[in-house]
Structure 1
Amino acid sequence: MNINTLTGILIPFAGTTLGAAMVFFMRKEMNEMLQKLLLGFASGVMIAASVWSLLIPSIEMAEQEGGIAWVPAAGGFLLGMGFLLVLDTLTPHLHFTDEKPEGVPAHLKKTTMLVLAVTLHNIPEGMAVGVTFAGVLTENSVMTMAGAFALSVGIAIQNFPEGAIISMPLKSQGISKRRAFIYGALSGIVEPIAAGITILLTGLVVPLLPYLLSFAAGAMIYVVVEELIPEAQTGKHSNISTIGVALGFALMMVLDVALG
């Protein structure tokens, strides 16, 4: 793994860490309208990244290899959705907007289950970044270093508000600012780990690359549909989150097309 790849897979983690650090500068809970805007923004970024950075390259790679173009894209996408469904069903976790935990019953602290919920969200993002850099390392003509960095930066941008969304509610639960920051930052460490594992898998089985691209897309879309959008649409001011989706989608699309 070269220095460019290592830097690329750490950028999203840096975004989460910087966002979690906002707990030191914000005295009160995050404004509800701002939180909805940021949740929508994160959703928009993930949807655009799934299409332009993952599904379209998956289809183009399959066409280059002479196979049926839609098979890796559709198959990997459904497997990614199923993978996150299983993780979501089995892993004990708690969302900030809920009172009752999800997953297998476990005697865990509330803060632990809150962090686990966000960690689940970060797994597909880490996989997405990892598989794009894996494509560059295999010297596939569809994937470029600029495109891989564009995705990494896009994920980091949406991770910044996610980090704040994690650490601020933890502080309101009575946890110290320092501990809330640490929990927020640690929730993002799964991203470079997932990215590294994905790069390793792709290096061992290069023909899996189109499937892994669409797999990551399916996993990210699951998070958007199952968690982010429902949380953003609850209560009042749901139109604010819709604006956030539009802004996030447009930004990620521009990054991918301009730099990819």
Structure 2
Amino acid sequence: MLYQQTAILLIPFLGTSLGSAMVFFTKNKINEKFQKFLLGFASGVMIAASVWSLIIPSVEMSAKQNVIEWLPAAVGFLLGIGFLLLLDSVIPHLHLNSDKPEGVKSRLSKNTMLVLAVTLHNIPEGMAVGVTLAGAITENTGITVAGAISLAVGIAIQNFPEGAIISLPLKDGGCSKLKSFYYGVISGAVEPIGAMITLIFAGIVTQILPYLLSFAAGAMIYVVTEELIPESQSGKHSNIGTIGVAIGFVIMMILDVSLG
């Protein structure tokens, strides 16, 4: 059972690592249109995962606990938004195609702040996998191991292009292929760590699982609305980003409904 849990927690990290490895197999930077599609795709996956894998189970679990069904989902969601807003305001980071750092002022290099920006994306994803797995191994939650696996696989799918999006620009900016790959992998390392911490915490206090589920959903939606969708819609060809959202949403919905 422990090996199975560890394997599930590592699935999203594997997606990021494989995506980062693309730096060894391609000479050119990502096409702008394709990058917009990938950003939209990641948004669609995260939106669908937030609804089917996190918020709906939160509501259903609250009903079983004889709690007002919408209360934990609403409270947790808003806390998740607030948590990422705080991190976004405190951690120095730099988004792709931007020269203006966000967060507190620092002397960190541009490459380091680019990695921190992607790391911020990955924190709620790791939390989502961890809390879903906690629900799967807890009795009478309605969450299955298959559902946890589908979420992990869905996040891994969207992490693959995300890994490439961070490693390839770093290579184009002067980093070696090996160093660019290393930075990409490091940006995803927070996922299994965050997932494990969330899993342990949720296992100790099972009554707050509905809040943790919606908390992860809120954190993911913050990343989508604050960063991914604006980046996919900037400049020309914004419709490509919209198509990516639709495809990512449908794929994650299918995964969750068919496997969950």
Corresponding residue for residue 64 of structure 2: 64
Counterpart amino acid of 1:7?
A
Q: Deviations over 1:168-227 (max 9, x none)?
A: 100111000110001001100000000000011111111010000000000000000000
Question: Distance between the aligned counterparts of 2:140 and 2:47, measured in 1?
Answer: 23
SS in 1 for 2:188: coil
Residue aligned with 1:95, SS: coil
Deviation at 1:140, TM superposition (A): 3.2
Which residue of the partner structure matches residue 74 of structure 1?
74
- Please tell me the residue identity of whatever aligns with 1:230: P
CA positional deviation for 1:4: 1.1
- 2:258 aligned residue: 258
CA distance in structure 2 between the aligned counterparts of 1:244 and 1:136, rounded to whole angstroms: 30
SS at 1:187's partner residue?
Answer: helix
Q: Could you say which residue in structure 2 is the equivalent of 1:15?
A: 15
Distance 2:139 2:258 in 1: 20
Q: Which residue identity lines up with residue 85 of structure 2 in the other structure?
A: L
* Unaligned ranges ≥5, structure 1: none
Distance 2:143 2:99 in 1: 43
Matched, 1:227 2:227: yes
Provide the residue aligned with 1:184 in structure 2: 184
TM value normalised by structure 2:
0.99
Kindly state the Cα deviation for residue 72 of structure 1 after the two structures are TM-superposed: 0.3
Name 1:102's counterpart in structure 2. Answer: 102
C-alpha RMSD over aligned residues:
0.7
Q: Which runs of 4+ in 1 moved over 3 A?
A: none
Give the match's secondary structure for 1:27: coil
Equivalent position SS for 2:154: helix
2:40 match: 40
Residue 120, structure 1, aligned to residue 120, structure 2 = yes
Equivalent position SS for 1:224 = helix
Unaligned runs of 5+ in 2: none
CA shift, 1:139, in A, is: 2.3
How many corresponding residue pairs?
260
Which residue identity lines up with residue 126 of structure 2 in the other structure? G
Describe the SS at the equivalent of 1:188.
helix
Residue 19 of structure 1 deviates from its aligned partner by: 0.2
* Matched position secondary structure for 1:96: coil
CA distance in 1: counterparts of 2:136 and 2:53, whole angstroms: 13
Deviation at 1:152, TM superposition (A): 0.3
String of CA shifts for 1:210-254, please: whole Å, max 9, x gaps. 000000000000000000000000111100010000000000000
User: What is the deviation of 1:2?
Assistant: 1.1
The reply on whether 1:158 has 2:172 as its aligned counterpart is no
AA aligned opposite 2:192: P
Task: Return the alpha-carbon distance in structure 1 between the equivalents of residues 228 and 216 of structure 2.
Answer: 17
The match for 2:85 is 85
Deviations along 1:21-78, one digit per CA (max 9) or x if unpaired, are 0011110111001000000000000000000000000000000111100000000000
Cross-structure match for 2:139: 139
In structure 2, C-alpha distance between the alignment counterparts of 1:132 and 1:238, rounded to whole Å: 33
Corresponding position of 1:201: 201
Residue in 2 that maps onto 1:55: 55
Report how far residue 136 of structure 1 moved: 1.3
Distance 1:23 1:15 in 2: 14
Counterpart Cα distance in 2 of 1:181 and 1:67: 47
Is 1:175 aligned to residue 179 of structure 2?
A: no
